[in-house]
Structure 1
Amino acid sequence: MKKRLLPAICVALILLYAFTRRQPLQRFHLNGYAQGTTYSIVYYAADSLISLKQTDSLLQRFDESVSLYLPGSLICKFNRSVKGIRVDQHFQRLVREAIKIHRETDGLVDPTVKPLVDAWGFGAIKASHTPDSNEVKKLVKNVGLKYISLKGNFLYKTRPNIQLDLNGIAQGYAVDLLANLLERQHIKSYLIELGGELRIKGTKPGNQPFTVGIEGISGFDAEPMRKVIEPPDGAITTSGNYRKQHEAGGKPISHLMNPLTGYPVNNEMISITVYAQDAVTADGFDNGFMAMGLKRTLAYLAKHKNMGAYIVYRKADGSIKDTTTMSFKSKRPI
């Protein structure tokens, strides 16, 4: 009896597999709110495999780890602590990633920059005045990765005034978390966007590529889009100093801080769009490249072919120009 049933079961399983293979892919779209911004997920699958409840829950847990806008989050607890606290895996991974990018950018990406962000008026609580040079000197004394260390799951700090701001890489990491969630369900075609940071894999049905538009900068470009690309699997993130800024002393100042000087970044860079294999890398480096400036950024990318960038910058005569690295050009520009 068992010998006769076995072939029948095998045939049934083969037919079931063939049926599921023939099911057409459908388009599913999820929208939500996290990290103080919106997110959107488009994916193609034979059935609805991911729910909004799943993505919201995932991102909520992440916010409870590193959101500066939640007083009970781990990062807020760390910032209020005297010697440090125990942190979860998300926090640990972000700190390790920040340390790596800090080294690669010669210290221009530094998660201990929060005192400067707050003082220059870009924190959760707006500053009452613009810091003078003496205040900046005092603030810089409490900025530096040398004052923190991660041992196991405990994040130590050697100065009580050390405070972390992981916003420079948190959104990219959140995008990667969503991508991992989809890939655990064997979803092979998707586009994820959170706060303008993107993660892309596969193509639409019919082998149609996903397209990504890089917007023009208001006041610099009459065109609504400077460039439209068809990126391969990977991530696209953008950093710029033309949106998050305000005036100090009659001059616009950027939200991007130079942790080495204590002052907002002020160079020829206007914006940079970075391609990398994952979003936390692209997101972490885009601010670093803004601080590094055009020449150093191009030199770095020339040595790292797995990354690419589209850069908008201001020339010495005040004119606006753009440039694209060879690695970015190969991402099927339209």
Structure 2
Amino acid sequence: MKKISILFLALVSLISCADKSEIDGHQYTGEALGTTYMVKYFSDRDLKFERSLDSILEVINSSMSTYRTGSDISKINRGDTTVKVDKHFKKVFAGSSKIYQESNGYFDPTVGVLVNAYGFGPDKPLKEIDSSKLDSLRNLVGFDKINITEKGRLQKEHPNVYLDFNAIAKGYTIDVIAEYLEANKVNNYLIELGGELRAKGKNLESEADWVVGIDDPDQQEGERSLKAKVKLKNAAMATSGNYRKYRMDSVTGQKYVHTINPMNGKAERSNLLSASVITDNCMMADGYATAFMALGLERTKKLVEELDNVEVYILYSTPEGNMGEFVSPGFRKNLLE
């Protein structure tokens, strides 16, 4: 599932503000985890941020990057049972387990074998998936089939279970960066990594809350237009969606995408175009956004009512081919006209 890039709207001037206790604005941009990042913060100290960021990313990649053959998760996926996972792996595992249970299995970091089989992932798809093959693949899916032992080793019911934290680890990385800034007495910052965001305090250059945006699914390729502007303060926001890969029903004109149903292993139609989630930390916002895309509109509405401090903004295609939206009450309070 493709993560939708979110346009951050914070001012980017780096002019020092002498009348604000000599607190300077610092901004850094670059590439990390296969995407881009932007970090802007205000501090009267030289944090040597880039060096610290490189260290954070190295630790996260060494633990959970499926693109590194020598990472802990890659070794585990190859069947190495001697790996002792670190605290970062354990925290992401715990967050994943929570959302897996709350979503009744619709959020599942072990679903990658099905994603690849249908041709939605990086691996070559299977030419044909009959009921026998589907049953075989489904035996490898289920977050309840794995656990971390007291000695810190991952235990699988089946050695071929494939674990991928891509849908939640990016958000967790933002949280680790935020923890680093706060440990260094930074109280005003905005972090963006691959469209996921976390903000604290305000933009001291404009003396206003941080403002971010959500892409308009109807924008044309190469264009950049927003569906909504969102005020983000002391919270995180993540958006998940795949509307750039939607198809259109030739009869009704309704837009739809295919999503994997972990319950039956089938690729099913979904009319959800994107789900944006606001909550306390970015790891959970990231995971919930992915879960809601899999759950669909009605199940998401029901779950959001049961969750504490989780707000959502959903864009979907109506049967007539128009754009519909669902906004939870708490999210609506953060929308700007």
TM tier relative to shorter chain = 0.7 to 0.9
Residue of structure 1 in register with 2:184 after alignment? 185
- Alpha-carbon distance between aligned partners in 1 of 2:336 and 2:267, rounded to the nearest angstrom: 33
- 1:1-334 counterparts in 2 under 5 A? 23-81=21-79, 83=81, 85-127=83-125, 129=127, 131-152=129-150, 153-205=152-204, 207-218=207-218, 224-243=225-244, 254=258, 256-334=259-337
Q: Secondary structure at the match of 1:230?
A: strand
Unmatched 5+ stretches in structure 2: 1-17, 249-254
Q: Secondary structure at the match of 2:83?
A: strand
> Is the 1:82–1:160 contact (alpha carbons within 8 Å) kept by the matching residues of 2?
no
| 1:27-56, Cα deviation, whole Å (9 max, x unpaired) | 101123221111110001123324212102
Post-superposition shift, 1:223? 8.3
> Is the 1:34–1:63 contact (alpha carbons within 8 Å) kept by the matching residues of 2?
no
Post-superposition shift, 1:272? 0.8
> Is the 1:201–1:234 contact (alpha carbons within 8 Å) kept by the matching residues of 2?
yes
- Alpha-carbon distance between aligned partners in 2 of 1:276 and 1:219, rounded to the nearest angstrom: 27
Instruction: With the length of structure 1 as denominator, give the TM-score of the two structures.
Output: 0.85
Task: Select between 45-54 and 56-65 the one with higher mean Cα deviation.
Answer: 45-54
- Alpha-carbon distance between aligned partners in 2 of 1:263 and 1:322, rounded to the nearest angstrom: 26
> Is the 1:273–1:286 contact (alpha carbons within 8 Å) kept by the matching residues of 2?
yes
Post-superposition shift, 1:244? 5.5
Q: CA RMSD in A?
A: 2.6
- Alpha-carbon distance between aligned partners in 2 of 1:217 and 1:57, rounded to the nearest angstrom: 36
> Is the 1:191–1:210 contact (alpha carbons within 8 Å) kept by the matching residues of 2?
yes
Post-superposition shift, 1:264? 3.3
Residue of structure 1 in register with 2:11 after alignment? none
**Larger helix proportion, structure 1 or 2?**
1
> Is the 1:198–1:279 contact (alpha carbons within 8 Å) kept by the matching residues of 2?
yes
Post-superposition shift, 1:142? 1.0
> Is the 1:216–1:225 contact (alpha carbons within 8 Å) kept by the matching residues of 2?
yes
> Identity, % of aligned pairs?
34
Task: Select between 208-217 and 315-324 the one with higher mean Cα deviation.
Answer: 315-324
Alignment: residue pair count: 311
- Alpha-carbon distance between aligned partners in 2 of 1:145 and 1:293, rounded to the nearest angstrom: 20
Post-superposition shift, 1:201? 0.5
- Where relative contact order (Cα < 8 A, 6+ residues apart) is larger, the structure is 2
- Alpha-carbon distance between aligned partners in 1 of 2:20 and 2:41, rounded to the nearest angstrom: 18
> Is the 1:83–1:157 contact (alpha carbons within 8 Å) kept by the matching residues of 2?
no
Cα 1:164–1:303 change in 2 (3 A) is: same
- Alpha-carbon distance between aligned partners in 2 of 1:97 and 1:265, rounded to the nearest angstrom: 26
For 1:243, give the aligned amino acid: R
Unmatched 5+ stretches in structure 1: 1-19
Cα 1:106–1:323 change in 2 (3 A) is: same
Cα 1:50–1:330 change in 2 (3 A) is: farther
Post-superposition shift, 1:26? 1.2
- Alpha-carbon distance between aligned partners in 2 of 1:265 and 1:183, rounded to the nearest angstrom: 43
Post-superposition shift, 1:319? 2.2
> Is the 1:83–1:158 contact (alpha carbons within 8 Å) kept by the matching residues of 2?
no
For 1:167, give the aligned amino acid: N
Q: Secondary structure at the match of 1:111?
A: coil
Which portions of structure 1, spanning 4 or more consecutive aligned residues, are displaced by more than 6 angstroms?
A: 220-223
Q: Secondary structure at the match of 2:238?
A: strand
- Alpha-carbon distance between aligned partners in 2 of 1:69 and 1:88, rounded to the nearest angstrom: 18
For 2:154, give the aligned amino acid: L
